[in-house]
Amino acid sequence: MDGGSLATNTSEREQDSQTLSSAAAEGPARIRSLDVLRGVGVLGMLAVHIQIFAYPMLARLNPTAYGDFHGVNRGIWLTTSLLADGKFIAIFAMLLGASIVMLPGRPAVAAWRVHAIRMGALLALGLAHAYLLWYGDMLVALALCGTVVFFARRLSPRWLLVLGGLSFAAGSAVTLWLTWSLAHGPPAELEDWKDHYTPRRVNIVTEINQYQGSWAEQMRHRVPAAREYQTTHFLVYLFWQMTGLMLLGMALFKLDVLSAARSRAFYLRMAALGFGAGALLISLGLWRSFATKWEPLDFALVGQQLHYWGNFLVALGWTALVMLLCQRGWRLRPVAGVGRMALSNYLLQSLICTTVFYGHGFGLFGEVDRARQFLIVLGVWAFQLLASSVWLRYFALGPVEWALRWPIYGRRPGLRRPSPPIAEA
C-alpha cells in the first residue's frame, strides 16, 4: 500500500470518527411533523395492542371468540378495527424508513456503521421484549426489515414508490397463494390449520390460566407465540409488508409529504382518499366476516386481504390529517414529546399493561371487557402525554433512547438538557 492510499484511509477513518461523534452529540435533526406523527403512532398502537394484552390472542381478529360483544364493547371493537388496527404500526414503519433517509450522507461507511449497530440494538431489545414480556413485539420485524432497506435509501422517490408498492403487494400475494394452496391441498392439513384458528374453549381457558399465573407459567404460551410470530408469520407476511412500508416512507419523506411541506389541498385529497377508500375496504371485509361467522379460510382469502389494503389507506389518511394539523399550528407539543420518546413509551406501554393484566401483577387477563380496556388506554395516554412533557423539560432524550445511543455511537451521550445561559446585566 502506498503512502497516498494510507493517508486517504487515515483521513476517511478520521472523517468517520468525526461523523459519529457529531451524530452522538447532536442526534438526528428534529422535524416537528415527524415527532407529532410518531407520537400519534405510538399512542394509537396501544388502542390496538390492549386487546392482546387483555384477551386471548384469537379475540383480536375474531371478536366473537371471547368476551362480551354487545353495545359499547361492540362499538369499540368496530371503531378500533376501522380506524386503528394495523394503521399505526404502518405509520411507525414508514417513519423508520424516513429516519433511514435522514442518516448522514457522508461518509457512507459511517452511515452504514451507525445504522447496522442501531438495528442490531433494536433487534436485541425486541427479542428481550418478545420472549421475556410480551409476544406481540414489533421491534424485531422492524429491525430486520430496516437492515434490508438501508441499501435503497439513495434511490429516487419514483423507484422507492415502485419497489415499496411491489413489496407491499407481495405480502398480499404470498398469503393468498399459500392459503389457496392449503385449501386445495391434503384435507387433513387444511383441517389442522382451521382448528388452529378456530376458538376452542379449552385453548382459551388454558391461555387465560397461563397469563393469570406466574411469569414462568406465562412462558408456556409466550415463547411459542413469539417464535411463530418471528419465523413463519414474519417470512410469509411481515417481511414483505414492513419492507414495503419503509420504502414507501422513504419516498414520502423525499417528496416532502411527511414534513408538512405540501399544499393544504394535497393533504385534503390524501386524507379523503385514505379514509374514504380505506374505510370502504375494511367495512366490506367486516361485513364479509360477520356474514361467514369468521370462518378461517374465508377470512384469510377475503376479509384479511381487504383489511390489508384498507389499513394502509387509512394510515395515509391519518398521516395527511396530522400534516394538516401541523400546518395550521395546532399546539401538539405533548404529542410530539411522546414521539421524541417513542421507543421508551412503546416499551412502557408493555410494562404497564402486562403489570395490569398478567399474573405477576394484578392478574386481570381475560376479566376486563373492551369498554374498560379503552378506559385504561385513555389513562395510559394521559400519563404518557404528561410524563413525556415533564421528562423532556429536564432531559434531552428518553431513557431507552439514551441507553441505545451509547453503543450506537460508541460514547456516552449527554442526558440532561443544557441549562439556559444566564443573561448578563
- pLDDT tens by residue, 260-300: 999 999 999 999 999 999 999 999 999 999 999 999 999 99
In a domain, 59, yes or no: yes
The helix/strand count (H/E) of the chain reads as 20, 0
Distance of CA 213 to the CA centre of its chain: 28
Q: What does the pLDDT read at residue 415?
A: 79
Q: What does the pLDDT read at residue 107?
A: 58
Q: What does the pLDDT read at residue 337?
A: 96
Distance of CA 153 to the CA centre of its chain: 20
Rounded to an integer, what distance in angstroms lies between the CA atom of residue 382 and that of residue 347? 16
Phi, psi angle pair for 375, to nearest 5°? -65, -40
Q: CA dist 17 to 21, 110, 410, Å?
A: 6, 8, 10
Residue type, 120: G
Q: What does the pLDDT read at residue 108?
A: 59
Q: With a cut of 70, which residues of the chain have pLDDT below it?
A: 1-30, 104-109, 418-425
CB contact at 8 A, 185 and 177: no
In a domain, 303, yes or no: no
In a domain, 358, yes or no: yes
Q: What does the pLDDT read at residue 420?
A: 53
- The residues facing 395 across adjacent strands are 416
Angle subtended at Cα 55 by Cα 386 and Cα 220, rounded to the nearest 5 degrees: 110
Those residues with Cβ within 8 angstroms of residue 112's Cβ, 6 or more apart along the chain or in another chain: 150
In a domain, 228, yes or no: yes
Those residues with Cβ within 8 angstroms of residue 416's Cβ, 6 or more apart along the chain or in another chain: 394, 395, 396
In a domain, 294, yes or no: no
Q: Look up the domain containing 363 and give its range.
A: 29-173+200-265+329-409
In a domain, 3, yes or no: no
Q: For the chain, what is the domain count? A: 1
In a domain, 62, yes or no: yes
pTM of the predicted structure, to 2 decimals: 0.89
Q: What does the pLDDT read at residue 25?
A: 39
Cis peptide before 107 (omega within 30 of 0): yes
Measured over the CA atoms of residue 50, residue 248, residue 272 and residue 308, the dihedral's sign is negative
In a domain, 274, yes or no: no
